[in-house]
Chain A
Amino acid sequence: MATLDSKIPQGPLAEKWSNHKAHIKVVSPANKRKLDIIVIGTGLGGASAAASLGELGYNVKVFCIQDSPRRAHSIAAQGGINAAKNYQNDNDSIFRLFYDTIKGGDYRAREANVYRLAEVSNAIIDQCVAQGVPFAREYGGLLDNRSFGGAQVSRTFYARGQTGQQLLLGAYAALNRQISKGSVKSFPRHEVLDIVLVDGKARGVITRNIITGEIERFGAHAVVMATGGYGNVFFLSTNAMNSNGSVAWQAYKKGAFFANPCFTQIHPTCIPVHGDQQSKLTLMSESLRNDGRIWVPKNKADVEALRAKKKKPSDIPEEDRDYYLERRYPAFGNLVPRDVASRAAKERCDAGYGVNETGLAVFLDFKTAIARLGEDVIRQRYGNLFQMYEKITDVNPYHEPMMIYPAVHYTMGGIWVDYNLMTTIPGLYAIGEANFSDHGANRLGASALMQGLADGYFVLPYTIGDYLSHEIQSPKVDTTTKEFDEAEKSVRDRIAKLFSIKGKQTVDEIHKKLGHIMWENVGMARTAESLTKAQEEIRALRKEFWADVKVPGTNEEFNQELEKALRLADFLELGELMAYDGLNRNESCGGHFRTEYQTPEGEALRDDEHYAYAAVWEYTGPDTEPKLHKEELKFEAVQLAQRNYKD
């Protein structure tokens, strides 16, 4: 039975990583050639890890479900990437980035990991520039920065509103270089459906070729999960349509522990839902809050007039607008962290001030910024975002404010990893959004890109060597063993079972029901009652799924319904664990807001005495309750305090 050992190195916080690197083992070039590594996913984490491991000389196989590694959902990140360069001379430092991240995460992240993240952040920017990432620059030729939520310094590097795309293209280019050299072999349109364990160690994967349906086996000395988050459990989210939690979930069922599954980030600035035919929500970058001001009308009469389209937002005079973030949080104003901004929007809409027909929208207004800077500057900064908004909504945001509402965006929870990013299964690693380690209960904007690349370029390539140094005697993994037979059989059985149901409901119809349960009960505000209800409803829905889902076609073809059904089957279990975890955590912190636990001003009320731990869940079986392990979070460098963005 695996136990939790976070393997945090000894010594002062600032020296832990250097000390650790100095003491872990490395693998000689001759031996690296003999070792195989599988990387699942080609987002920032997966692509950067696969490329870096290939450069080091390992034999890497990289899998993705898209038709090209370049399409992983990291590509959709808009705003930027943080680094403690202090290029703006605004007194930024590694410590300040670390501190902001820990505080932004509401003190539920592991101090040592977060410090390391801040420490390697600068090298990421150097690396990306060397790869040819066209970051925004000043006229003098040096790099430009912008501000992001949860920080009082300008430390966010950006490439227009397409930073994720540019960083991913950099990592993808590095990956391509290794593919051309033959050190990395790429398997696009391959979905990993199971992790294979041999003698308790991760030794391979079972994949399905998305085009032909062929089930294949691949062996390796180590497996890296870079599979992203599981926000699509909510059906409607800003995640890509194909983003899923299935590899993480299969790993969990094989013995990898799942940490803080209930920590979900609801992003404050998304385009509001327009109707029940919608399949996807679109994010509007947080960077917009640099210059945009969020408001709702002060008077209900104006709200009614807006909803009835009798008034345009621009008709409402300044004195009748409630810039509620600036009112409530004078020090950070519109740049409060995401969880705070989202809850504040929900609070206003719940109070009846929502500005569209559904009552679930607030304004993000650029009037002041356009008056101050001119339309050209705003166009230069956010042109592509404004264009995107107009294409989707048919409203010109240069003239009328944008309408926004919070939506599910990111999952801070994920597979538990130690300081080396290894899960509780030896040889199985989890990096980027797939793991739980760096963002606590809330992630700051522009930090996801930072974490993905930090893990992939600068952490995993070192720490995986420590593990693999013990594997140099292991021969190539034989994929004809009974472990692989069993894993393949279980995959084939699962697929066969889905086809055999021949029910009446489509996968999407059941997924929408799950999304509804999750959003209503495990969403922005949760209660013990709602979380209990969610568990019951999810269990019932799961039964319904396995009795009534309709999956057309066969396995031996390009079958998108089968892909969705396999993923939904896992979401239907994962959703329950999220509710279970939320119910266990009797406090509010970051994105996890339990209505019962709030300050008189309506802020999240933490309970550090009882819940300063990562809730780490162990799978015990299909019908038994998961087992809770606690990783106590010890804070040496920061003082736990109520987060304050007011002054």
Chain B
Amino acid sequence: MSISGCFLILFLLFHMSMNIVAIFSGEAYDAICAFLGANWYALAGTLVLAAGVLVHIIYAIWLTLQNRKARGNVRYAVTAQEEGVSWSSKNMLVLGFIVLGGLLIHLWNFWSKMQLVEIMGGHEVTLCNGDIVSPTDGSALIQYTFGQWYFVVIYLVWLAALWFHLTHGVWSMFQTTGWANALWYPRLKCIANIVATIIFLCFAAVVVVFFLRSFGCASGICI
């Protein structure tokens, strides 16, 4: 879990820096999108990334099944929260499913309209409102998506779940690989919170900024 998790965190950091660009310059963002279109390296990267996600999910489910079996059939009638134990650490699978759900929506929102279209050889995408955009025009898609309030809500919930998931996941990664000790726990947990918060804020910033911009131009794409 820690290795695949580590890989996914690195991807998130990369994705995040790319998104930040969109706030400042749509064209620059679109250039990156074009760069990461249906090119062999981007495709390879996508496949590796998908594999990473799959490994992370399958392994998580497998471990959870094992753990449920190890826990036994009869459960405690009374359980209490242990002191100092974070809520997220005990709910990683639930958080993971929320993250996965968000991811699927996200893939439908963006990837299916961008890289997938390119792979299929398409050159234009028709949006639900009838607009037609190029699959490399990522900034237009962003504006379109976050112009709809319910996507904003869904994305913020998704990112919040990701925040909880990461606050445990990041320091836990070090623990599992043995790179932790009593001295470093407070530091690692602090680093985990910082990383999770940066990722949350940067992704959320894109969502919120584009949502606010959508009030500036009621419909369509205006950057």
Direct contact of A and B (CB under 8 A): no
Chain A contact residues, CB within 8 Å of chain B: none
